[in-house]
Amino acid sequence: MRIAYLDCFSGISGDMFLGALIDSGVSAKLFEDVVAALDIGARLEVSRVNRSGITATKVDVLVHGEKELPREVFWEQKRVKQRDGHGHDHSHKQGQHHEHNHDHHHESSAETVQPHTHGRGLTEIKKIIASARLTERTRTNATSIFEALGRAESKIHNIDIESIHFHEVGAVDAMVDVICAAAGIEALGIDELVCSPVNVGGGTVSCAHGTFPVPAPATVEILKGAPVYSSGLEFELVTPTGAAIVKTLATRFSPFPKMKIERVGYGAGTRDIAGHANVARMTIGEAEASSNISEETITILEANLDDLNPQVFGYVMDRLLEQGALDAFGVPVQMKKNRPGTLLTVLCNAADAERLTRLIFSETTTLGVRRREEQRHCLSRSWETVHTVWGDVRIKVASMNGSITNYAPEYEDCRRIAAERQIPLKTVMQASIQQYLCGQETLHQGHGDTES
């Protein structure tokens, strides 16, 4: 399987993504044709630059022959105009760049309702995408990226998504970033885009609504569920547009995968940071054959309990699973002063660890919760449904290298049927397994007939 790995050790923005695509082999002419098809008064400028000793491709979007203003300059000019009573800035230089050239926070229409606004709504942007000469896949991906941006702004400002005016994201340069990113990833001819954990940077950033800590509100909202970190650099390293591109186009976030490397490309950000290569790296190659065994990092929470009512312990277990724990269990232990106790262990995703820790503190008598990260190997899992005389039951199937290793009926399905039909639970489970095995036998016979 052919894959591309995007290493966001210096964050990600739209121009960095486009630069990495071109440096990895995507034709610059493809992007030029896409920009021409949009017919929105833009053109591209592609150059080779040096970022802390790394040669990379830089992509700039020119709107009516000019590049964007830096973020701080744009918002300072806007505030001065409003303070002096000159109204809203009519400049076409709406998109603000920072160290990556494209900062894409959005102003909501609730704050800038003016009949002469340069902002575009999501409906208008979708029409531009739909009317341009693009492939269906490019249209779908570009629309999805803008929808991700719109959902983030809608939630942050608590207004309907169709009321959002993309005064920054809807700017011409950002439309070029998004649509070219969608076209470029299709042209790359890969089966999967994998993304590294994302370095979001640090410090503060100025935008339409004032000064905010990095990452900015829209970036945080878009990156929910993705692994992020800060290396300590006092720069905003991820733009909302960059975040939306990788969150939409990447199939998963993981460390560097096993692969045979064929090509490597670097896309440059605008700022040249001393001692730090401000680039995104794209590595393309053939992935090693999968054994259907995945590796993932999970968080382990543990607490020793020696004075908790056993009835409460059962309740806590239910709450933990309801709140997103992957698993939870208790083991009898002998504690200090020879008191019998229980070791509570919770397996969870890192994003859920803080919430589950608070739940343990609030619902149990423990004074401390231990936390650690561990690697876990998992077999590939899928669901199949079998039809029994009492109703449908799901079967969980585990496989390795294409061969089924384990299968089991879903307990909750069997329990529900047993309770409704007033029959033994084990009878339902046995019948479900028998139906599954009969289906497998029929499937194998069919394959044998085909091969003969």
Whether residue 236 contacts residue 216, with contact meaning beta carbons closer than 8 Å, is answered with yes
Block residue for tokens 């739940």: 359
Indicate whether 279 and 223 sit together in one domain.
yes
Indicate whether 89 and 53 sit together in one domain: yes
Instruction: Encode pLDDT of 374-398 as tens digits.
Output: 998 888 778 889 999 999 999 999 8
Q: In this structure, are 426 and 335 located in the same domain?
A: no
What is the domain extent for residue 318? 294-368
Same domain, 163 and 261: yes
Q: Is residue 161 part of a domain?
A: yes
CA distance 434 to 440: 10
Question: Does 137 lie in the same domain as 30?
Answer: yes
- Rounded Cα distance, 348 and 374, in Å: 11
Buried b (16+ CB within 10 A) or exposed e, 401-412: eeeeeebebbee
Give the CATH number, domain containing residue 419: 3.10.20.300
User: 428 and 358, same structural domain?
Assistant: no
Tell whether 306 and 162 lie within a shared domain: no
In a domain, 324, yes or no: yes
Q: What is the pLDDT of residue 387?
A: 92
For the segment 409-430, what is each residue's pLDDT rounded down to a tens digit? Answer: 999 999 999 999 999 999 999 9
> Judging by DSSP bridges, how do beta strands 293-305 and 370-388 pair with one another?
antiparallel
Residue 208's closest CA among 117, 106, 73?
A: 106
- pLDDT band at residue 93 using 50, 70 and 90 as cut-offs: very low
373 assigned to some structural domain: no
Q: What local confidence, expressed as pLDDT, does residue 208 receive?
A: 66
Give the length of the chain: 452
- The answer, yes or no, to whether residue 163 has pLDDT greater than 70, is no
Give the DSSP H/E element, type plus range, for residue 123.
Answer: helix 122-131
pLDDT reported for residue 265: 97
Alpha-carbon span 170 to 240, nearest angstrom = 12
CB-count burial class (<10 Å; 0-12, 13-18, 19+) for 257: middle
Residue 78 has pLDDT above 90, yes or no: no
Q: Has residue 81 been placed in a domain?
A: yes
Domain end (from 266, 287, 308) = 287
Where among 368, 397, 432 does a domain terminate? 368
- Two tokens, residue 400: 């390795």
Helix (H, G, I), strand (E, B) or coil at 384: strand
* pLDDT, tens only, 19-31: 999 999 999 999 9
Each residue of 192-206: pLDDT tens digit?
999 999 999 999 877
Q: Is residue 374 part of a domain?
A: no
CB 16 within 8 A of CB 279: yes
pTM of the model: 0.59
Q: Are residues 58 and 113 in the same domain?
A: yes
For residues 300 and 283, membership in a common domain is answered with no
Tokens of 335: 């504690």
pLDDT of residue 219: 92
Q: How far apart are CA 265 and CA 23, in angstroms?
A: 4
Query: How far is the C-alpha of 228 from the C-alpha of 9, rounded, in Å?
Result: 10
Last residue of a domain, one of 260, 287, 314: 287
Mean pLDDT of 117-124: 68
Instruction: For residue 201, list its beta bridge partners.
Output: 236
| 374 within 8 A of 300, measured Cβ to Cβ | yes
pLDDT at residue 438 greater than cutoff 50: yes
- Per-residue pLDDT tens digits for 186-235: 999 998 999 999 999 999 877 666 788 888 888 999 999 899 999 989 98
Mind giving me the DSSP string for 2-60? Answer: EEEEEE-BTBB-HHHHHHHHHHTT--HHHHHHHHHHHTSSEEEEEEEEEETTEEEEEEE
Residues 272 and 353 in one domain: no
Pairing of strands 228-229, 198-199: parallel
- Rounded distance, CA 196 to CA 228, Å? 9
Do 337 and 421 lie in one domain? The reply is no
Q: Is residue 104 part of a domain?
A: yes
What mean pLDDT is reported for the chain? 83
What confidence score (pLDDT) does residue 94 get? 34
- Cβ–Cβ < 8 Å for 139, 181: no
- Quote the crossing angle between the two packed helices 240-249 and 14-23, to the nearest 10°: 50
Q: Could you tell me if 343 and 388 lie in one domain?
A: no
Instruction: Give, in order, the Cα–Cα distances in Å from 326 to each of 223, 234, 351, 381.
Output: 21, 35, 12, 15
Scanning the structure block, which residue is given the tokens 């054994």?
291
Q: Distance between CA atoms of 10 and 273, rounded to whole angstroms?
A: 10
Domain count, the chain: 3
Is 55 within the bounds of a domain?
A: yes
- Name the pLDDT band for 169 (thresholds 50, 70, 90): very low
- DSSP state for residue 276 in the 8-state scheme: S
- Say what the pLDDT of residue 419 is: 95
